[in-house]
Amino acid sequence: MKPVSNRVGPVKRFLGRSLLALGGWRTEPPPAATDKGVLVCSPHTSNWDFFWFVAILWSYGMEPHWIGKASLFKPPFGTLARQLGGVPVDRSGGRNQVQGAAQALQDAQHMLLAIAPDGSRSKKPHWRTGFYHIAHQAGVPLVLGYLDYPTRRGGFGGLLVPSGDLAADMERLRVFYAPMGGKFPTQTSDVRLAESGVLG
């Protein structure tokens, strides 16, 4: 696999800071140092969320990455997909998306893999847990990224190393994300497990 960089040049860094200033956003301290991790992007209630997350990361000189099936990276669009932060996932040999993404993280020297566990912009009764299993299988931390529209604050809440106890770790995530307000609050998905009525 071609080496993946988490760093961006001065142009993107300047652009990120400029966009945040124009949008009235304030950024918190940068994320804790880590070469690899799964970036949790929440709450996710609007198409604007990805735009602001990218601007925040660029302002810190960081490049987010996303996963896609290998066929998306073939000519003629493969080069563009990689330039936009795409990372191909090999699903051959019986691998599913979680296994493929975990393997991509293990193989990379540097990768910040951005995932919105809400699953979609509309309200869902629970989070999807693929992001957690990817981080756990890859042996990398969760980077807690957030947007709080009421205060126009965005940033990172540190690292959470998956313990393997999904219910306990999800409760920690629920507590962290509880104060965060999405652009459309009524569309914010509950931070809970599908099989549990306790969390959220």
Give per-residue pLDDT as tens, 90-146. 655 545 788 888 988 998 888 889 988 886 667 777 788 889 999 999 999 999 999
| Domain ranges, ordered by start, for the chain | 10-185
| Measured distance CA(14)–CA(118) in Å, rounded | 30
Q: pLDDT by residue (tens digit) across 175-197?
A: 999 999 889 877 777 777 776 44
**Please, what is the end-to-end C-alpha distance for the chain in angstroms?**
39
Which of 113, 66, 64 is CA-nearest to residue 88?
Answer: 66
Contact 193, 170 (CB under 8 A): yes
Summarised one tens digit per residue, pLDDT across range 65-78 is 887 767 777 877 77
**pTM greater than the 0.95 cutoff:** no
99 and 130 in contact (C-beta within 8 Å)? no
Secondary structure of 85-118 in HEC code, one letter for each residue: CEEEECCHHHCCHHHHHHHHHHHCCCEEEEECCC
